[in-house]
């Protein structure tokens, strides 16, 4: 039976350390969250992020725009936050209501305040192996792996999914940890047999319980990023949890695995951004 990775406990521990770090700062880090429209899931996520900020001593600024806000309205809000000295991090909650184009709005966020790590500048820094702000969910998964393994060098990793938010940066982070990485997607052939070779399987697809026990080799580390609701309203991941747990050595649950780590990394990125913005200029 696999060890069930307690992402909630690891995140709580990280948040506790961050709280002490924030208390010792001479300034208060600030995170602005921009929420457009009234998508119920987004409202829940935003509430969770704001609550987490309060706990560690980060000041949060919530900016709610109506569902009929225009591209220009959101751009103006981002411009104002870019210029606001009290705001060190800006998060545009996705998805935006239909008809709006998130891409140019994300690129409008100042790279130094881009705590989601989605601007081209930060994506480029990640590709180049340079310091920047890295996307929260893949960074959280990296920490979960490093909690168990001193080194990831030489491990075969399969990342299922190639989104800019998760799959692509996750593969890049694993590559930088000297893994051999298969980046899989909807056109990948023989996905099950690729997974079967992997020491690390990370599923980020959005398909309930897609990864089956016979896809996974004994002893694998399986990270489930997916968040899905079944017809009965139950929250499940992309991995057939009970069957895979009987075979793997490590597995993350849904909920309580990757999700809390995403929020913990958002807080870390906000404090990192605030520290960089408050650094005395080098002479
Ligand atoms: P996304 O943008 O929809 O990407 C899904 C990816 O899965 C795409 O690359 C797609 O391939 C691939 N895919 C779809 N069907 C497939 C199949 N049958 N076989 C193999 N690959 C397939 O989603 P995302 O934003 O990356 O998120 C993925 C999941 O993770 C969602 O459930 C989301 O809610 C969850 N998530 C959770 C957190 C968290 O904090 N826990 C954070 C982010 C995301 P193509 O590129 O070929 O279309």
Per-residue pLDDT tens digits for 187-214 = 999 999 999 999 999 999 999 999 999 9
Ligand 1 center to residue 256 CA distance, Å?
19
pLDDT in tens, 121-166: 999 999 999 999 999 999 999 999 999 999 999 999 999 999 999 9
Q: Closest ligand 1 atom, CA of 258?
A: 41
Using CA atoms, how far apart are residues 238 and 90, in angstroms rounded to an integer?
Answer: 29
Q: In this structure, are residues 90 and 109 in contact, taking their beta carbons and an 8 Å threshold?
A: yes
What is the Cα–Cα distance from 214 to 67, expressed in whole angstroms?
44
Active site residue 282: no
State the catalytic residue, choosing from 8, 38, 43, 93. Answer: 93
User: Average pLDDT over the chain, rounded to whole?
Assistant: 97
List, in order, residues 6 or more apart from 135 with CB less than 8 Å away: 116, 117, 118, 126, 165, 166, 169
Nearest CA owner, ligand 1 atom 13 = 186
pLDDT of 55 higher than 90? yes
| 83 vs 280: which has the higher pLDDT | 83
> Sorting pLDDT into bands at 50, 70 and 90, what band is 116?
very high
Taking CA atoms, 224 is separated from 16, 41, 228, 241, 261, in Å, by: 25, 19, 11, 9, 12
What whole-number percentage of the chain has pLDDT above 70? 99
Q: Residue 59 in contact with residue 28, Cβ under 8 Å?
A: yes
pLDDT confidence tier of residue 10, bands split at 50, 70 and 90: very high
- Give the pLDDT score at 219: 97
**pLDDT confidence of residue 280:** 64
Cα-to-centroid distance, 279 and ligand 1 (Å): 37
Query: What is residue 169's predicted lDDT score, i.e. its pLDDT?
Result: 98
Fold of 136-259: Rossmann fold (3.40.50)
The ranges assigned to domains in the chain are 27-110, 136-259
Closest C-alpha to 139, from 202, 90, 81, 199: 202
Whether 199 is a known active-site residue: answer no
User: Residue 59 pairs with which residues in a beta bridge?
Assistant: 30
Q: Once rounded to an integer, what is the mean pLDDT over residues 59-82?
A: 98
Can you give the pTM of this predicted structure? 0.97
Average pLDDT of span 33-45: 95
Q: Is the pLDDT of residue 281 over 70?
A: no
**CATH fold group of domain 27-110:** Rossmann fold (3.40.50)
Q: Please name the residue whose Cα sits nearest to atom 6 of ligand 1.
A: 161
Ligand 1 within 6 A of CB of 202: no
In this chain, the answer to whether the domains covering 27-110 and 136-259 adopt an identical fold is yes
Residue 49's SS3 state is helix
Residue in the block written with tokens 């997974």:
195
Q: Which helix (H) or strand (E) holds 3?
A: strand 3-4
Please tell me the distance from the alpha carbon of residue 277 to that of residue 283, in angstroms, as a whole number.
16
Pick from 248, 253, 249, 250: which is nearest to 238 by CA?
253
* DSSP assignments along 76-138, one per residue: HHHHHHHH-TT--EEEE-SSPPTT--HHHHHHHS-GGGBTT--SHHHHHHHHHT-SS---HHH
pLDDT given at position 274: 98
CB 227 within 8 A of CB 254: yes
């Amino acid at each position: 039976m696999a060890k069930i990775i307690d992402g909630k406990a690891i995140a709580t521990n990280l948040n506790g350390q961050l709280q002490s770090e924030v208390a010792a700062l001479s300034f208060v880090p600030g995170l602005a969250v921009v929420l457009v429209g009234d998508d119920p899931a987004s409202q829940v996520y935003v509430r969770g992020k704001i609550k987490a900020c309060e706990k560690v001593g980060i000041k949060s600024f919530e900016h709610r725009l109506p569902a009929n806000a225009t591209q220009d309205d959101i751009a103006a809000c981002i411009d104002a936050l870019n210029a606001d000295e009290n705001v060190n991090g800006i998060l545009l909650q996705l998805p935006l209501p239909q008809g709006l184009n998130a891409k140019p709005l994300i690129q409008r966020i100042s790279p130094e305040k881009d705590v989601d790590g989605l601007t081209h500048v930060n994506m480029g820094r990640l590709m180049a192996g340079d310091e920047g702000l890295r996307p929260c969910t893949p960074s959280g998964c990296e920490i979960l792996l490093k909690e168990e393994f001193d080194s990831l060098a030489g491990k075969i990793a399969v990342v299922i999914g190639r989104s800019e938010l998760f799959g692509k940066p996750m593969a890049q982070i694993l590559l930088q940890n000297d893994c051999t990485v298969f980046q899989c997607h909807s056109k990948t052939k023989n996905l099950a047999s690729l997974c079967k070779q992997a020491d690390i399987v990370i599923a980020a697809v959005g398909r309930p319980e897609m990864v089956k026990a016979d896809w996974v080799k004994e002893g694998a580390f399986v990270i489930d990023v997916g968040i899905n609701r079944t017809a009965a309203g139950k929250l499940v991941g992309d991995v057939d949890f009970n069957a895979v747990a009987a075979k793997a050595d490590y597995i993350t649950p849904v909920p309580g695995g990757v999700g809390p780590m995403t929020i913990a990394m958002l807080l870390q990125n906000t404090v990192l951004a605030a520290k960089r913005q408050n650094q005395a200029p080098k002479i």
